[in-house]
Amino acid sequence: MAVEVCAKAATGAPDVLGDCPFTQRVLLTLEEKKVPYQVHLIDVTNKPKWFLEVNPEGKVPVIKFDDKWIPDSDVITLLLEEKYPHPSLAPNPHFSSVGSKIFSAFVSFLKSKDANDGTEQALLDELKALDEHLKSHGPYICGEKVTAFDMSLAPKLYHLEVALGHFKSWSVPDNLTHVCNYMKLLFNRESFEKTKAAKEYVVAGWAPKVNA
């Protein structure tokens, strides 16, 4: 039986998968584990009544386990690992902080209106730290095998690449060769191709925050 997942629909296109990186993390996990699933696309500007009844907080993603809807991508991915242990995506817990500040640093830089406020440097520092880690332990965060940490970071790096490319004509510096290689490896995975939002929807999703 297919697992049911509620995912954000694209901005202005309610029948197309949207740009939520946390939803993509869950879908990536399902794809990598070859778990059959069915997606319910949720227009987050006009949430259906049934969705709010099963999930009063109204956040995506949520997944249905044993007739219960469960929110939060952290909780969901742990449950998937428990319920479908093969192939294992269990990571090395020692590396849990690797790359964990990249997304917030990216958002600060993306929203920044002042070129001298240090947000670009803060993002570069986080990417350099990731590059150093991958140099010693790569090509993935925990070595040769892709794990839950990569499933979490991949969608965030995709948003970083698309949104900063569009709004700031900025890209990850070429001298961070291990990060550039890591992004290529992740984005070329079949699971990633199948679950990513189209670039225009990533841009549309960030536009209100950039222009705020």
Annotated catalytic residues are 20
Q: Using CA atoms, how far apart are residues 120 and 51, in angstroms rounded to an integer?
A: 39
- Do 31 and 186 contact (CB within 8 A), yes or no? no
Query: Which residues, including other chains, have CB under 8 Å from residue 106's CB and lie 6 or more apart?
Result: 123, 156, 159, 160, 163, 164
Q: Using CA atoms, how far apart are residues 157 and 5, in angstroms rounded to an integer?
A: 23
Tokens of 51: 């969705």
Q: Using CA atoms, how far apart are residues 175 and 89, in angstroms rounded to an integer?
A: 29
CA 200 from chain center: how many Å? 16
Q: Could you tell me the CA-to-CA distances from 163 to 58, 79, 130, 142, 203 in Å, in that order?
A: 25, 31, 20, 27, 6
β 62-65/13-17 pair status: unpaired
- Do 136 and 142 contact (CB within 8 A), yes or no? no
